Each structure stands twice: as structure tokens, then as C-alpha cells.
Chain A
Amino acid sequence: MQKKFDQTSDPKRWGAGVLVFAILAMVGSISNAYIISLLTVVLLFAFMGQSWNLMLGIGGQLSIGHALFVGIGAYSVAILNIKYGITPWIGLILGAAIAGLIGAVLAWLSFRFEVRGIYFALLTIAAAEFARIMFGGWDYVGGMQGLFFQAPTGSMDLAMLRGDTRFYYFVALTLAAIGVAGTEMISRSYLGYVWRAMRDDDDAARALGVQTFRHKILVISISAATAAIGGGVLGLVQGAIFPDSIMGMGISVDVLIGPVVGGLGTAFGPLVGSMAAIPLHHAMGALGDSFGIPGLNSIAYGAVLILVVWFLPDGIWPAVVRLYGAIQLPARVRISKLQEVENDRAA
């Protein structure tokens, strides 16, 4: 049976998206502060996961050092705001610009010198770790002591992007929504096609006229800039940033776990994956703390990554979609078979 596989814009998908975010918006009104703040982090990583997803799932470039860009965003916002009183909005823009530039430079250097695939992935980790260590030794940005935002007054100040927990929940929600919508729109645009062609087979894409060198730099740059925006907000939410926390491998893993678990290359995957994996991580961490056994959360993350790649390499979300398709199948099959028969008669 020929399922319609076209990627043309599907109103059903947009409808589903709006519904999901409406529900999430309603969730924002519940009173449990712990859940709200956990979900805020989940949504932020859903957004940052989208940026990583763009780079690998659509563009085909693996980065294990996204913490670099997240950290740049966080530090830009923090330095401008804490040291100079400048609004985080400017910090976010600046952070995105710097991260985008650094991403472009790393990409340019790599692809100019044939550093591809896992070598490129290693380069991204090396860059992230290098930055983390250097920031740790740099007094201007607070060194190992980090930077602390002023304690939130609780009242909302949109111009300075300050507010209470609920405020940041909605900021994160907005970002996550932009992430999903953005990925969806890019997928259906000319960039989406060209990037996927580049991902699947670089040589074949070039033979079709795709300037893969430029596009790789572009996708990495955009991915870096968006990750930085997520990082900037993450810093605000956490109230303080330290090089080991905001630029460490842990952040890179948090960023990638959503898309990997949820579904690489899809629009909803990172959101679904983050909502599954990050609360699990926190729960295991809390469990471990209560028993005095650290490390349970690492085990959880590790196990989840291995199991997902092993049994559901496409991720949870595509599996759900397939399941939904399988359940719906009988009705569709009958209808499409009728269609086929009619078409044959008409031909």
C-alpha cells in the first residue's frame, strides 16, 4: 500500500503541535513549583535538543561538544547582565552571534582540512573541554567560582527577562514551541531538502549541485546560535553559572539525549525525548541522593541511550507514529485500494 510519504505541510501536524503546547501552557498554571522548574529545564533542553537535532538529524553532522555553545550563550548573558547591567535580551543576541561565529569557524576549519565524521565529533568535544578549562582559569568570567545573578525579586520584568519560576516556564515553553515549529518549517523548506541530501550522501548531493561545504557551515552555525540562546536562558533559570556545569560534558549529554531518545531528524522527537529522559535523570539523581548512592542518574542515562539505539534506533516518537499508523491501517488500506482500482479503471 502506498502511504503518502510526502513532506508537504500537513495541517494535522500543526494542529497536533498547537494542541500539545496548549496543554503544556495549561500545565504552567499548576502550583507545584518543583514540577514547574523541572519542566522548565526539560523544555529548555527540548529547545537546545532541537538545535542539535538540526545539526545531526537533518544536517548529518555529529557534535558531542554542544556545551561549548550553550556555555557561550550563558556567559554572554551573565557577563553583560551581572557586570554591566545590560538586559539579557542583548546578551542572548550577542551570545547567539558569538556562538554562531565560533561554530562557523570550527566548521570551516574542519571541513577545509578534511576533519569529518567522528574526527569532527572529537574536535567538538576537544573544543568544549578546552573552553571549559580556560573559562575555569579566567578571572574576568569568575573562574571556577562562576557568576551569580542577582536573586530574583519575584516580580516580572520582561525588559530584563526576570521573573519568577512560572515566568521562566513560559519563556522555556515559547522557546520549545519555536524549536518545534522552526524544525518543521526548515524541514519543509529548501534548506531541509538540501541538508538531508547532504546528510545521506555528500558526494551524491554535490553531484546534484548542492554546495555542501557552505551548507555544513550554515547548519552548524545556526545550530550553535540557537543552542546559545537556550544556554543564556538556562543560566538565568539556574541563577548562577560555573564552567564545569554549563560547559561540561554533562550539558552536551543533556542536549543530545532528547533527540536521540525521542527521534533524530523529526520535529517532535527532541521534545518527546527530553520529556522522557530528563525527568528520569532527575528522579534517579534524587533517588540516589536519598540513599546516599551517587551515580544512579548516570547509569540511567547510559542505559537509556544504549537501549534506545539498540531497540528503537529511530527514537520513541517515530515508533509511536508507526504504532498509530498500524492501528489505523485497516481503514486506510481499504480506502487506498479502492482508489487504486479506480485509478486503474480510469487509466
Chain B
Amino acid sequence: MSGNASAVRGAPSSTKRSRCKLLHPPASGGVLMLSLWLNVLASGVLIGLVYGLVALGLTIIFGVMRVVNFAHGEMVVFGVYIGYWTVRIWDIPIIAAAAIAAVIMFLFGYLLEALVVKRFVNRPHHYQFIVFIGLSLLFSGVLLVSFGPDPRPTASQLSFQTVAVGPLTLDWARIQAALTAGVLIAALSAYLKYSAFGRSLRAAANNRLGGLVVGLNIPRVYAVTFGIGSACAGVAGALISPLFDAQPYLAVDFTLLAFVTVIVGGLGSFGGALLGGLTIGVAEAVAALMFTPSMKTALPYALLIIILILRPRGFFGAKEV
């Protein structure tokens, strides 16, 4: 394993599966081991911040609207494609691509909520779930139709640059993605905590009827919330586009990864989304080192099952569904 973007990926799905020994710890010892482990852990932490951003989007939507966005992975993939195309056409830095993704996906989310999701917010949960599966299928289909099933290699100069930090050799793309994600998570959390709109968001989350009574424009709050949630997903997607080839089939894996992250951290908790992201990022990275690829891919699901059973509320506790 090297610092090559295509090899050391936190990619939730791997096209290569190998024989079934569960574990294959790397050979060689001593300093090399330490440096390997450190690199892997750092890598995991970095991607974990991006997962945290994805999870933050999902958890905001759930926290405020009590709606489970099963199409979240598709939104991340939309972001990946936006990153891919904007860089390809205009050769702009990734951060700019992420900004464009933020705007596009915010509008997308806002309109989706206002036109479609809104009609299902008060329906029983299983109908909501089914509607979102429908949306997820729809979006995947659109992605396939628009871009085809083949992965688009998002090669750019960025993809292969590395930075040496002490014993660590890190992908510059990964660092950029992580820093941006971290900043956004902090900024968004602060905004939601201290701004007037943030207060109305949290009021709506706490008590919808009460919010209506005091004059909150709940429909608009919900639409904006959904917009913010999808923007998070889109930005995360754009940020990781140098690291993953863009393809529609990533979507389902991302959705489930987002769910694992959110549930580990606690559905509805912002801090939890971040912590969940870091946990999953590191767990995946360690698993990649210690287990076979199939075990590593399966790890998030195993974790999800275990966490659901042991503590469905995650670390930070969440309100009941």
C-alpha cells in the first residue's frame, strides 16, 4: 500500500475481492510497522472528517425533520460528479468545486423538499422510508443515464501530490478535503447554534407544533434544512472527487456508510456526526490494514448491527424515532 490515491482509499466498496482469510496482518516489523500504522490512522482520521460532514448533513435532516434521507448517498455522488465536471471543464481548485457543489446541492435539496418530501413528512415512517428508496433509485437511474455506468477517473494533479509530515506521507487531496470538511462542520455547527435561523431550526426540531404556534415558517425551515443537508453531502462528494473515481454505484455504499456514521455518533447529534465520522474513518483504515478487503468492506455493516443492538442512540443519545 502506498500513498497513491487509488490504492489507499477509504472507498467503501472495493472491486477487488480476494480469498477468504479473514485476517492478513502486514509482514515486516519495527519502525516500518509504526510508520505504516501512523499513515493508515492519519489517513483514516482525514477521511473521517469528510464522513463526518456527510453524516452531519444526514443528521441535520433527521434531527429537524425526523425524516430518514435514504438518498443521501446519491447526493454525495452528485457532488462527486460536480467535482469531476467542474475541474475537468474549468480546471478550478477543489475548494471552488466544492463551493459550486454547495450551491447546486442546496438548491436541489431545497426544491426536493418543497416539492416532494414535504408531502410525506407526516406520513408513517415506513412510507417515508419507501419514498426515499424510490428517490434513491430515481437518482441512481438519472446518474446512470447521464453519465453512464463506467467510472470516470478524476485524475488531476491534486490526486497524486503528497505531503510529508514527520513519519507520515499524506495525500494532499485528502488533507485539503479533511481541512475543508472540518472547517465547514465547525462553521455550520456554530451557525446553527448561535444564529437566529439556527435557533428557529432547533425550535422546529424540538417542537413542530409549538414552532408553528409562535410563527415559525416551518415549511421554509424544513426546506432550508433539507437544502443544508444535501449541500453537506454534495460538498463532501466534491471534496473527495480527486480520491474516488466517479461512478453511480458508489451511492448505496455511501448512504449506508452515512447511516453507520450517524448511528454510531447518535442520530440527531451534530457532535456525534463528527465523532462518528472519525470513528468510522479510523475503523475502516485499520480494517483495511488488518483484514481482507471483503472483511473491510463489510465492517461498517457489522458495526452498524452491533451499535444498533448495543446502543441505538449512539454516543450522544438521540431523540426517539
Contact = CB atoms under 8 A, between A and B. Distances in A.
A129 B126 contact: no
B263 interface: yes
A255 to B, nearest CB: 12
Contacts of A143: 17, 19-20
Contacts of A144: 17
B134 A133 contact: no
A239 interface: no
Interface string B263-286: 100000000000000000000000
Interface stretch (A36-44, A266-274, A302-310, A328-336): A302-310
Given A115-B308, A295-B141, A298-B141, A129 B18 contact: no
A137 B295 CA distance: 8
Interface centre among B141, B149, B292, B308 (most CB of A within 10 A): B141
Given A119-B312, A139-B20, A302-B138, A294 B145 contact: yes
Given A56-B126, A309-B127, A138 B138 contact: no
B168 interface: no
Interface stretch (B195-203, B204-212, B296-304): B296-304
B137 A253 contact: yes
Contacts of B301: 126-127, 129-130, 133
> Chain B, interface size: which category?
35 or more
Contacts of A249: 252
B305 interface: yes
Contact of B294 (A136, A298, A299, A310): A136
Contact of B321 (A118, A253, A300): A118
B17 A62 contact: no
A144 B20 CA distance: 11
B145 to A, nearest CB: 4
Nearest to A120: B308
Dominant secondary structure of chain A at its interface with chain B: helix
A64 interface: yes
Given A62-B126, A64-B129, A296-B145, A136 B17 contact: yes
B304 A123 contact: yes
A189 B312 CA distance: 35
A123 B301 CA distance: 9
Given A113-B310, A309-B120, A310-B119, A133 B136 contact: no
A256 interface: yes
Nearest to A129: B301
B134 A130 contact: no
A113 to B, nearest CB: 5
A240 interface: no
Interface string A96-138: 0000000000000110011111110111011101100110111
Nearest to A109: B309
B38 interface: no
Nearest to A297: B141
Contacts of B116: 306
Nearest to B22: A137
B294 A126 contact: no
A122 B321 CA distance: 13
B137 A298 contact: yes
Nearest to A307: B134
B292 A122 contact: no
Interface of B: 17-20, 68, 116, 119-120, 123, 125-127, 129-131, 133-145, 148-149, 248, 252, 256, 259-260, 263, 292-295, 297-298, 301-302, 304-305, 308-310, 312, 321
Q: Across chains A and B, which 9 residue pairs bring their CB atoms closest together, nearest first? A: A295-B144, A137-B294, A302-B138, A305-B134, A298-B141, A299-B141, A302-B137, A130-B301, A133-B298
Given A295-B144, A306-B116, 10 more contacts: A114-B312, A118-B129, A130-B305, A288-B145, A293-B145, A295-B142, A295-B143, A301-B141, A303-B134, A313-B127
Interface of A: 56, 62, 64, 109-110, 113-119, 121-123, 125-127, 129-130, 133-134, 136-139, 143-144, 249, 253, 256, 260, 288, 293-306, 309-310, 313
16 contacts: A62-B129, A125-B256, A126-B256, A126-B301, A127-B305, A129-B301, A133-B294, A143-B19, A256-B130, A260-B130, A295-B144, A295-B145, A300-B141, A301-B137, A302-B135, A303-B134
